[in-house]
Amino acid sequence: MKQPTATPTALPGFSDRFVLHRDPHPVRVATFAEDVRAGLGTRPMSLSPKYFYDDLGSALFEAITRLPEYYLTRVERDLLATYGREIAGALDGPLELIELGSGSAIKTRLLIDAILERQPSLTYHPIDISADAVTESSLALIQAYERLRVIAYAGDYFPLLRQKRLVTHGRVLVLFLGSNIGNFEPGDARELLELLAAARHPGDGLLLGYDLKKDPSILELAYNDPTGVTAAFNKNLLGRMNRELAADFDLDAFRFSANWHDEIGAVQSFLISEREQRVRVPAANLDLGFAAGDSIHTESSYKFSREEVVALAEQCGFAEKTTYTDAGGRYAVSLLTVR
């Protein structure tokens, strides 16, 4: 096991307010190479979307959030700007914040502002598989907020929750924003909510942001953006295998495709081989043969109704307190509490 705590030395004066746990898992977690071997070594081929987010991938995701077609981030931000104070006051505080998949944590600032209006200080625990994203966002936050303490985790939140390794004191609000829940297949989404409920105490909160079902053409355009940023975000998975696993993917020999599937309620993303080709991934011990049209499933982006999310959350041990939606009914944020 690697030693967890690494405090940055470049910021004298901040070290008492910033702790970073790297690879915070005492048991072994599957590596990128092992997951690539499992995902591409069997048919149908697939890769976990958690591997999108290396340094470049996190930057490409931030670019996606600025695309006119990708309304999710903007609508969620507006909901948090409008209802942040109400959310901060809905649980008996003082609060501590945990955030799963915090990314740039830009929207989180709206809640930090609202919470710091009500209490003198705040401890924030961001967890993100992208070490760059969680480090940069944490440093920016402690520089912006004198009354904030950040305990950050660079790693996969599943094992962290399974091992109940998050130490908190008092009332906790967990943030799971950005429709991240939609990137899990239904069984995994359920397991994540169950783990969250089991790791928390009755009365603790979960703020869950999710994209609502709507006209498929709007959903498909959010992923098939004409600028091609989402295609680049997906192809970065191939680039990452070239960089980290010495693979020889030709990124021009694959095209990106994202389509709405009504029967499952998700936009499904794929990288499709344009021609017959062989690709080697030495670090995963793979020699792959692609026919033209062979596809790699890269991501599911499930869309929900409020009723579906509330029913699932209730089965996992939560109760709905309030659900906030925009006037257009595009996106929802549900405040749930542990029963």
Binding site for ligand AVI (CB under 6 A): 64, 72, 178-180, 182-183, 223, 230, 233, 299, 301
Q: Does 180 bind ligand SAH (CB under 6 A)?
A: yes
Tokens describing residue 88 = 């901060």
Q: Does 230 bind ligand SAH (CB under 6 A)?
A: no
What residue spans of the chain are helical by DSSP H?
Answer: 32-40, 55-65, 72-90, 108-116, 131-144, 157-162, 186-199, 216-223, 229-245, 306-315
Task: Give the burial string for 113-150 (b: 16+ CB within 10 Å, else e).
Answer: bbbbeeeeebbbbbbbbbbbbbbebbbebbeebeebbb
Decide whether 180 or 269 has the Cβ nearer to ligand SAH. 180
CA–CA gap between residue 234 and residue 61 (Å, rounded): 10
CA–CA gap between residue 185 and residue 227 (Å, rounded): 28
For the chain, state the CA radius of gyration.
Answer: 20
Environment class of residue 79 by beta-carbon count within 10 Å: exposed (0-12), middle (13-18) or buried (19+)? buried
Residue nearest to ligand AVI (CB): 301
Residue 182 binding target from ligand AVI, ligand SAH, none, CB below 5 to 8 Å by type: ligand AVI
Q: Does 130 bind ligand SAH (CB under 6 A)?
A: yes
Among 19, 40, 133, 142, binds ligand SAH (CB under 6 A): 133
Angle at 271 between CA 270 and CA 274, to 5 degrees: 130
Binding mask 146-175 vs ligand SAH (x if CB under 6 A, - otherwise)? ----------xxx-----------------
Site residues for ligand SAH, 38-97, by CB under 6 A, read 50, 53, 58, 61, 65, 73
Decide whether 50 or 200 has the Cβ nearer to ligand SAH. 50
Residue 200 binding target from ligand SAH, ligand AVI, none, CB below 5 to 8 Å by type: none
Least Å from the CB of residue 285 to ligand SAH: 24
Question: Interface with ligand SAH by CB under 6 A: which residues?
Answer: 50, 53, 58, 61, 65, 73, 101-103, 107, 127-130, 133, 156-158, 177-178, 180
